[in-house]
Amino acid sequence: MIDPQSSVAAVRAYRLLPSALLTIVGWGLPFAEIALGVLLLAGIATRLVAVASAVLLLVFIAAVTSAAARGLSIDCGCFGGGGDVAPGQTAYATEIVRDVGLLLLAVWLVWQPRSRLTLDRFSSERT
Amino acid sequence: MNSTKNLNARERARLAAEQAAARRRDQRILISVVVAFLVVVVAGGITFQAWRTSRSPSAAPSATAAASPVMITNGRPIPLGSADAPVTITLYEDFHCPHCADFEEEFGPTITQAQESGEARVELYPMAFIDEGSITAANAMACAAEAGFGQPYYLALFANHTLQWSDPQLIDLATKVVGSPPSEAFQTCVKRRAHADFVTSINAAADQNHVAQTPTMLINGKDVAIESLTPESLKTMITDAAQK
């Protein structure tokens, strides 16, 4: 279960947020992501949730890009982990490509939120 | 005829407008529910993590090595284990560094075993660069070593690495390690940050030794590549070093 120290360490490693916000973002962000994921899977308010996910992914892409541009040696903290790593061990390109892929999927859902297994179908087809 | 048609058209328009209004209302409700769900999950998550870091420490893994009190010297590592062990394992760790906690989980038992068999001794540089808890834990580690229970306290700190390390937590941990409330001297040492200068000096020493990341491990002064290490290969390394 999401380690409260490492999720804060992952956020801290980006050196973007003031220390007052590190803890709250480190603790809150993973749960926000899980909640968005659950809503996307269930297909509840798909378009709205897809917009939120796309915005979040844009923030992630910007953060990883800025870490790369500033020459930091960190793990993006995507799917767990995070923190400082040895200079040769960064994988910014892979991380950005993956985030762009996820972003495209989110944009697809903003454009085409309907699919066969969403709960949204029930709420709107009755009207 | 004409008037019926008009009526129908008006009726249809009214129905359509009603339906549109109902749809908008449904949508507003759905959005509120979704936003409320997000807020509840995030707030719940933050509360959960706050609880996890502030609760009292759990019992520590037992360490049988009866340690004697050691002297804390600025800039010098804390010795853990028999002074005449043939192998020296130097460790640079921060008690709040997540990779150190992973390292301890994977390799801690192998190292402890080598310490208990008298094969190796650990020289610990308790660095503190992550947060306030790193400093309080490093200070308490020095207090514990000085009081003679450094080794079990070290293991217990990592076994409970999710805690934020407030003074009561650090004292509670000592109680669990020693089996009874720790001495007044230890408690004062923790609360007054008696070894604050030592902690600073350890950070400086690590810097001077060109240690750029934690965990860093050296066996008899030689850097060990942790990425490719397994508990078995570490065991072999220690045995080999002992035979040289």
Residues A96, A60, A116: CA angle, nearest 5 degrees: 85
Torsion of CA B60, B66, B72, B73, to 10 degrees: -120
The residue ranges of chain B whose pLDDT is under 50 are none
Is the CB of A127 less than 8 angstroms away from the CB of B26?
yes
Asked if the peptide bond before residue B215 counts as cis, ω within 30 degrees of 0, the response is: yes
Q: How many domains does chain B have?
A: 2
Residue A125, pLDDT score: 46
Do residue B118 and residue B9 come from a single domain? no
**Confidence (pTM):** 0.80
Q: How many domains does chain A have?
A: 1
Do residue B91 and residue B122 come from a single domain? yes
**Chain A contacts in chain B segment 90-149 (CB below 8 A):** 96-99, 101, 130-131
pLDDT over 90 for what percent of chain B? 70
Q: Is the pLDDT of residue A2 over 90?
A: no
Nearest CA in chain A to B20: A127
Which chain A residues are closer than 8 Å to B52 by Cβ? 4
- The CATH number given to whatever domain includes residue B102 is 3.40.30.10
Residue B69, pLDDT score: 87
Q: Decide if A67 is inside a domain.
A: yes
pLDDT over 90 for what percent of chain A? 57
pLDDT over 70 for what percent of chain B? 95
Please report the ipTM that was assigned to this predicted complex.
0.88
Is the CB of A27 less than 8 angstroms away from the CB of B131?
no
**Chain B contacts in chain A segment 81-120 (CB below 8 A):** 81-86
Residue B66, pLDDT score: 55
Amino acid, res. A14: Y
Q: Decide if A17 is inside a domain.
A: yes
Terminal-to-terminal C-alpha distance of chain B: 111
Q: Is the pLDDT of residue A49 over 70?
A: yes
Residue B111, pLDDT score: 95
Q: Decide if A74 is inside a domain.
A: yes
CA-CA distance, B197 to B194, in Å (whole number)?
Answer: 8
Instruction: Find the helix packing angle between B150-159 and B98-116, rounded to 10°.
Output: 150
Q: How much is the mean pLDDT over chain A?
A: 88
Residue A126, pLDDT score: 41
Residue A120, pLDDT score: 78
Which residues constitute the domain of residue B115?
Answer: 59-243
**Chain A contacts in chain B segment 145-184 (CB below 8 A):** 161-162
Do residue B189 and residue B237 come from a single domain? yes
Which residues constitute the domain of residue A20?
Answer: 4-114
Residue A62, pLDDT score: 96
Which chain B residues are closer than 8 Å to A124 by Cβ? 23
CA-CA distance, A86 to A44, in Å (whole number)?
Answer: 42
